[in-house]
Chains A and B, each alone.
Chain A
Amino acid sequence: MTNTKRAASAILSTLLGIAVVGAVGITLHSLSGDHRPNLVATKEADTITVDGKNYPKASLTMGVYADAEQAAADGYDFKASGNKKDYVQYGPSTHLVLPAHTYVTMTIHSYDGGEKLNNAYFGKIVGTVGGTANVDGVDVSSVAPDQVQHTFTIHGLPTTSQDPLFVNIPLQHVEEGDDGFLPTKDPGTNFKGHTVTFSFITGGKGEYVFNCEYPCGDGTYAKFGNAMSAYGYMSGKVTVA
């Protein structure tokens, strides 16, 4: 074999290797992409002053549903969000988009029962304005660890390129009666679950995640199976843009 042929073979093999590895990477990246629709916070016209600083306002509403029937009653078809399984899940999407440097008010309608948190810390409300959340019209700073159905917990990587954002909201569980879920105490809503409202202030642009800290999956992996192990059910992405 001549030196030219030897060099050509080496270059060709290297290029072929790069092409194969690149194709595998691009395919995997494409398959792992988040194709869920964005749930974008609605910007409001007015502003609010907190600790001497003025912030624009935005709001966002979502729900957490024990099954497809509850989701349908709230007008949410979970298959439209890209989820295929009838697991407990947040909706109408789990990719939230929030404006930066904004006073964001979130409302979560929650319909599920529950047992006990693994860690009582997540029964506390953390990261909201005033350190409270409003549950059916009542301001609370915590929920008893044995009365939580799920939590809505935002966190992210501590990097120098984005502001920290940590919010933990325990969602009061729904007492189950003989005829199903009891109605909320709030006469202003028609929901048979609880309505939780809370506000927090976003920093600069960044990518965060949220997940539930109540083990609400199936019996595998310490109840962290199915909905807790699959992306987009009790977990999702929070983009501050």
Chain B
Amino acid sequence: MSDHNDVHLEPTPGERFSKFLKRSDVRETLAWAAFYTAVFVVLGAYFYPKWMPTVMSTDMKAIERLMVVFTFISAPVCGFVMSIFTQTLRHRHKGDTPPPDGPAIRNNRLATSVFAGVSSLLCLTAIVYGLVELNSSAEAATKDAPNALVVEVTGNQWVWSFNYPSLGVESNMLNLPIDRPVIFRITSADVNHSFWPVQLGVKADANHLATTLAQTTPIKLGAIDVKCAELCGLYHAYMETSGEVMTVSDFNNWVTAQGGHSA
């Protein structure tokens, strides 16, 4: 009998994959990955919103939603990385003489395809979701613009000042009425700053000789921390001020006390 009659059929990719999944180390790795993914999903759904600043505006709400969704999307990736890390630690070599490296894995189309496909899918989902959120925010800004309260924000080394041109008020504090859209017209009187009212979910550059627009709607009463998010010199660390989202009547009282007139 010639050698031609000894037919050894190569296993199909499906058979190889099935065999691969039956390996105990692969099953352990997948179990760890599932565990870590679940942990990150719980972190994203439950703990992450607790660690974020208080949600006090429509934009901050959208940002929190976006961060939670992105955490969900990235949870499997992080789960697999942590799983490999755990398995590496569990099965590490003990002793002074390490074994030689295993053979390099090349030309595994299935592995390459799964890796590229899943990564692309996760990235595309994140991009599309992000663009949809961005568009929603832009649409709301256009719709609300006629009713919006305009606040001119000026960054100076190292104090913020806020001008309410329609109310005749200038202040070093950012006070806003609840449920009314606000348009920030942001600039700088000197170097570059970054206007960051944390709980409102707005962060925009304050550049000299340029005006940047940002818009949001405060939806919750409470204190606002306004920080500078751009290293701007000697007292950058002290370039913070406070503010408050107030009821409409409280806001009008504050405006009157400042010598301005109610909207």
Interfacial residues, chain A to chain B (CB-CB below 8 A): 1, 118-119, 121-122, 124, 126, 153, 155-158, 164, 166, 168, 209, 211, 213, 215, 221-222, 224, 228-231, 235
B208 interface residue per 8 A CB criterion: yes
Q: Quick one: which of A213, A228, A230 contacts B159, CB cutoff 8 A?
A: A213
Q: Tell me the chain B residues, 147-172 only, with Cβ under 8 Å from chain A.
A: 154, 156-159, 161, 163, 170, 172
Q: Tell me the chain B residues, 166-193 only, with Cβ under 8 Å from chain A.
A: 170, 172, 189-191
Interface size on B, residues (CB 8 A): 22
Contact residues in B for A215 (Cβ distance below 8 Å): 190
Q: Tell me the chain B residues, 221-246 only, with Cβ under 8 Å from chain A.
A: 225, 233-235, 238, 240-242
**Residues B235 and A235 in contact, CB atoms below 8 Å apart:** yes
Knowing A119-B154, A122-B156, A158-B225 are in contact, say whether A229-B234 is a contact too (CB < 8 A). yes
Contact residues in B for A122 (Cβ distance below 8 Å): 156, 159, 161
Considering the complex of A and B, which 6 residue pairs feature the smallest CB-CB distances, nearest first?
A: A158-B242, A118-B189, A121-B161, A119-B189, A222-B190, A209-B238
**Residues B159 and A155 in contact, CB atoms below 8 Å apart:** yes
Chain A residue, CB-CB nearest to B226: A158
* CB of A209 to closest CB in B, whole Å: 5
Interface string of B129-145 (1 = CB under 8 A from A): 00000000000000000
B96 interface residue per 8 A CB criterion: yes
* CB of A17 to closest CB in B, whole Å: 22
A12 to B172, CA, bound (A): 52
Q: Quick one: which of A156, A222, A235 contacts B234, CB cutoff 8 A?
A: A235
Offer 30 A-B interface pairs, CB within 8 angstroms, sorted by A. A1-B96, A118-B189, A118-B190, A119-B161, A121-B163, A121-B172, A124-B170, A126-B172, A153-B159, A155-B159, A155-B241, A156-B238, A157-B238, A157-B240, A158-B240, A158-B242, A164-B242, A166-B172, A209-B238, A213-B156, A221-B190, A221-B233, A222-B208, A224-B190, A224-B191, A228-B233, A228-B234, A229-B233, A231-B234, A235-B235
Contact residues in B for A230 (Cβ distance below 8 Å): 234
Contact residues in A for B163 (Cβ distance below 8 Å): 121
A172 to B121, CA, bound (A): 64
Interface string of B1-12 (1 = CB under 8 A from A): 000000000000
Knowing A158-B241, A164-B242 are in contact, say whether A209-B235 is a contact too (CB < 8 A). yes
* CB of B20 to closest CB in A, whole Å: 36
Knowing A118-B190, A121-B163, A211-B158 are in contact, say whether A155-B238 is a contact too (CB < 8 A). yes
Known: A118-B156, A155-B241; 20 extra A-B contacts, CB below 8 A, are A118-B189, A118-B190, A119-B161, A121-B161, A121-B163, A121-B170, A153-B159, A155-B238, A156-B238, A158-B225, A158-B241, A166-B172, A166-B241, A168-B172, A209-B235, A211-B158, A211-B235, A222-B191, A228-B157, A231-B234
Chain B residue, CB-CB nearest to A121: B161
Chain A residue, CB-CB nearest to B239: A155
Contact residues in B for A121 (Cβ distance below 8 Å): 154, 161, 163, 170, 172
**Residues B156 and A224 in contact, CB atoms below 8 Å apart:** no
Chain B residue, CB-CB nearest to A209: B238
**Residues A224 and B235 in contact, CB atoms below 8 Å apart:** no
Q: Quick one: which of A155, A156, A209, A221 contacts B191, CB cutoff 8 A?
A: A221
Contact residues in B for A168 (Cβ distance below 8 Å): 172
Contact residues in A for B158 (Cβ distance below 8 Å): 155, 211
